[in-house]
Amino acid sequence: MRSALLLALLAVAFLPGRQAVAAEPPRAEQVQSDVSTREISIQSNFTGIEIVLFGSIDFSRAPSLDEGPYDVIMVIRGPNRAIVVRRKERIAGLWMNGASKTFPSVPGYYAVLASRPFRAAAPEAVLTKLGIGFSNLDFGKTSEGETADDGFRASLIRLQQDHGLFQESDDAISFIGRSLFRGSVQLPVDVPIGRYTTQVFLFRNGKLLSQSQSSLQVEKVGAERMIYTLAFHYPFAYGLLAVLMAVSAGLLAWTVFRRE
Amino acid sequence: MLQVYLPVAEISVNLLVMLGLGAAIGFLSGMFGVGGGFLLTPLLMFSGIPPAIAVATGANQIVASSVSGALVQWRRGNIDFRMGLVLIIGGVVGALAGVLLVGLLSRLGHADVFISLVYVTFLGVIGSLMLVESVSAIRRTRAGQPARARKPGEHTWIHGLPFKVRFPRSRLYISAIPPLILGAIVGLLASILGVGGGFIVVPGMIYLLRMPTNVVIGTSLFQIIFVTAIVTILYAVLNHSLDILLALLLVIGGVIGGLFGADAGQRLKGEQLRLLLAVMVLAVAARLLIGLLVPPEDLYSLGRVVAGA
């Protein structure tokens, strides 16, 4: 009992000292980051938005302006959702959907930005572990009995890219001075609503030094939010409202324009 | 410019294009005295609106045009309310079946093809019939013959059916079964195609039920209000595929277009109008058919998986 107390006292006495020792050599680089818009509001005039991600490298050892040894990779992810990919086939002369494959957790939005081609910035094993790049995305386990054709996964990525929902852009991050950097990314009109995460990775010579995370929220606001909420949570009232709107428009047209 | 974000469809559309589309359909429906749904839904689909949204929103738009049309007919005493009610009862059953069917096919990924196929079939048949009829009518008037008078109603197999109901306004005493079935067919088509179904119910009333011609249009419009209203609500509740903002744009355009259409319609002869309409109906059918037959640019497509469905 007494020896235990002594040990505890010793530990308390030595602990601050140990921390001080660890901090003595040149401090490791730390990356800090944030986004320009933390809340994105979807209103009736929404046609997509560009967001800016910016950050800085604390304790940068870059020798001069724009000549840093650092690579920065940013990953922006939207909320996951299940997506079914269908392939059209010719059945009885008509083109209709045939085979399909369901991917249970596809990011609703996914963008990779890098200060130079990101595959050169870090070894493939690290990229795989961090889920950087389309080829390293995990869409969850596809259900059994469905076709094992890789064309579905490739097409999913391609179609998401066509919609601007999946992006890979090298050289999209620029450095400002020794330690500041910024990158911008476009969110298209059909971005899913929900919480987005942004990750910023700092590399030097292919080694991950530091990472930082932030998040942003995409939401419908005002009338759009009201309509959306009504449509999905009170669908009967919503349908009734739509019918009332149409009936009153018809009544109005009749009273205003009748010629009798 | 002037893009508007549709909160339920989750796409951005051009405000003026949608108002113009509503106006064009309103113009046609004012001119021809038809609901215009059979043109509106395909045109919405051509302009990139998902079929399920196009059908539900199209049905909602028809509520507005049929209300003002029915009111005009009501003032002239041209509505058989009892017959309308029987048709509506059948219509509710048909509409429910249709909405459930489209919902099921949507989840299986076959809704687009199914809706297109039903459209091609109906528009093709009706367009061809109208074309033949209007061309021969124009020929007859050119030849100087008067329009044929219809033969008075005769007793057919319909009069042998049970559950007879008296319809005083139509001066009919017939079984309730044929109008119930007719109503159900109209409800089914209204929900699958996003149309009022006037093109089925009007010939059905004239040739099958042998109703007097003067009450046919009014009664048809009266029941279309209710059938399309029910279809709208069913889609909102079961499929969440109704976009009220899109419907509002189409309704506003439709009201304005309808005003001008009615004027234009009075300057053309009936046969000419029917010929023009037949050509348009066949053009839409052909466009849909091409979409089914031509190899698609992209074999793959994405669909959302609706939770709990």
Longest dimension (CA), chain A: 107
Given a contact cutoff of 8 angstroms between Cβ atoms, the answer to whether B39 and B225 are in contact is no
Q: What is the pLDDT of residues A162-209, one digit of tens each?
A: 989 999 988 888 888 778 889 999 998 888 889 999 999 998 888 888
Chain B nearest-CA residue for A95: B292
Contact B300 A155 (CB under 8 A): yes
Segment B144-148 long-range contacts (CB within 8 Å, at least 24 positions apart): none
At B121, the amino acid letter reads: T
pLDDT, mean of residues B34-49 = 84
Q: What's the rounded Cα separation, in Å, for the pair B26 and B36?
A: 7
Q: What's the rounded Cα separation, in Å, for the pair A90 and A85?
A: 17
| pLDDT given for residue A29 in this prediction | 81
Q: Taking the CA of residue B212 as centre, how many other CA atoms within 13 Å lie in the half-sphere pointing to its CB?
A: 13
Q: What's the rounded Cα separation, in Å, for the pair B274 and B127?
A: 9
Range of A118-127, A238-247, B34-43, B79-88 with top mean pLDDT? A238-247
Determine contact: B299 vs chain A, CB below 8 A.
Answer: yes
DSSP B83-151: HHHHHHHHHHHHHHHHHHHHHHHHHHT-HHHHHHHHHHHHHHHHHHHHHHHHHHHHHHHHTTPPPPPPP
Q: Taking the CA of residue A168 as centre, how many other CA atoms within 13 Å lie in the half-sphere pointing to its CB?
A: 14
Is the pTM for the entire model greater than 0.80?
A: no
pLDDT, mean of residues B255-267 = 76
- In chain A, count H helices and then E strands: 6, 12
pLDDT, mean of residues B178-202 = 87
Determine contact: A43 vs chain B, CB below 8 A.
Answer: yes
Contact A45 B3 (CB under 8 A): yes
Contact B75 A94 (CB under 8 A): no
Please check the confidence at residue A8 and state whether its pLDDT lies above 60: no
What phi and psi, each to the nearest 5 degrees, are found at residue B144?
A: 85, 10
**Residue numbers in A near B251 (CB within 8 A):** 245-246, 249
β-pairing, A194-204 with A70-77?
A: antiparallel
pLDDT, mean of residues A63-89 = 82
Determine contact: B308 vs chain A, CB below 8 A.
Answer: no
**Residue numbers in A near B113 (CB within 8 A):** 94-97
Q: What's the rounded Cα separation, in Å, for the pair B252 and B94?
A: 29
Q: What's the rounded Cα separation, in Å, for the pair B236 and B188?
A: 16
**Residue numbers in A near B259 (CB within 8 A):** 253, 257
Which residues 109-148 in chain A show a CB within 8 A of chain B? none
Q: What's the rounded Cα separation, in Å, for the pair A251 and B12?
A: 29
Which ipTM was obtained for this model?
Answer: 0.84
Given a contact cutoff of 8 angstroms between Cβ atoms, the answer to whether B158 and B208 are in contact is yes
Q: What's the rounded Cα separation, in Å, for the pair A18 and B196?
A: 81
Contact A239 B300 (CB under 8 A): no
**Residue numbers in B near A245 (CB within 8 A):** 244, 247-248, 251
